Chain A
Amino acid sequence: MLVHQYETAKAPKRVVIVGAGGFVGGAIAKELGRANIPVLPLTRKDVDLLSPAADTLAGHLQSDDAVVFVSAVAPAKNTAQLMTNLRMAEAGCLAFAKVAPAHLVYISSDAVYIDDANPVTERSAVAPSTVHGMMHAARELMFRNEYRGPLAFLRPTLIFGAADPHSGYGPNRFRRQAAKGEPITIFGEGEEKRDHVSVEDVARLAVRILLHRSTGALNAATGVATSFCDIAHLVAAQFSPPAEVKSVPRPGPRPHLLHRFFDVIACHKAFPDFRYESLADGIARVHRECVA
Chain B
Amino acid sequence: MTAPTIGYAGMTHLGLCSAVAAASKGFATLGFDADADLVGRLQAGRLPVVEPDLDDLLRANKSRVAFSPDMRRLAECDLVYVAPDVPTDDQGKSDLAGLDRLLDLVLDNVKPGAVVTVLSQVPPAFTRARQRPGRLLYYQVETLVFGRAVERATKPERFIVGCPDPAEPLPPVLATFLGAFGCPILPMRFESAELCKISINCCLVASVSVANTLAELCERINADWSEIAPALRLDRRIGAYSYLAPGLGLAGGNLERDLATVLRFSEEFGTEAGVIKGFVANSSHRRDWPLRVLHEALLRKVEKPVIAVLGLAYKENTHSVKNSPSLALIRHLAPWPLRVFDPVVAASVAPHPAVSGAKSPLEAASGADAVVIMTPWPEFRAISCSDLARAMRGRLVLDPYAVLDRKAARAAGLDHRTLGVA
Interface positions of A (Cβ within 8 A of B): 123, 263, 265, 268-269, 272-273, 275-276
Contact = CB atoms under 8 A, between A and B. Distances in A.
B378 interface: no
Given A268-B332, A269-B332, A275 B300 contact: yes
Which size bracket describes the interface of B in this complex? Answer: 10 to 19
Interface in B305-349: 332-335
A276 B281 CA distance: 25
Contacts of A263: 285
B46 interface: no
Contacts of B281: 123
B334 A272 contact: yes
Interface string B282-294: 0001001001100
Contacts of A273: 299, 335
B332 A272 contact: yes
Nearest to B333: A272
Contacts of A265: 288, 291-292
B286 to A, nearest CB: 11
Contacts of B292: 265, 268
A152 B299 CA distance: 26
A265 to B, nearest CB: 5
Secondary structure call for the A interface: loop
Interface in B262-290: 281, 285, 288
Nearest to B300: A275
A11 B253 CA distance: 39
Contacts of A276: 300
Given A268-B332, A272-B333, A273-B299, 12 more contacts: A263-B285, A265-B288, A265-B291, A265-B292, A268-B292, A268-B295, A269-B332, A272-B299, A272-B332, A272-B335, A273-B335, A275-B300
B278 to A, nearest CB: 13
13 contacts: A265-B288, A265-B291, A265-B292, A269-B291, A269-B332, A272-B299, A272-B332, A272-B333, A272-B334, A272-B335, A275-B299, A275-B300, A276-B300
B329 to A, nearest CB: 11
Nearest to B301: A275
Instruction: State the 10 A-B residue pairs at the shortest beta-carbon distance, nearest first.
Output: A265-B288, A273-B335, A275-B300, A269-B332, A268-B295, A272-B335, A272-B332, A268-B291, A265-B292, A265-B291
Contacts of B299: 268, 272-273, 275
Which of B281, B295, B335 neighbours the largest number of chain A CB atoms within 10 Å of its CB?
A: B295
B305 to A, nearest CB: 10
A123 B282 CA distance: 12
Nearest to A268: B295
A272 B338 CA distance: 14
Nearest to A278: B300
B353 to A, nearest CB: 10
Which of A123, A263, A265, A269 gathers the greatest number of chain B CB atoms within 10 Å?
A265
> Interface centre among A123, A269, A272, A273, by most B CB within 10 Å?
A272
Contacts of B333: 272
Contacts of B285: 263
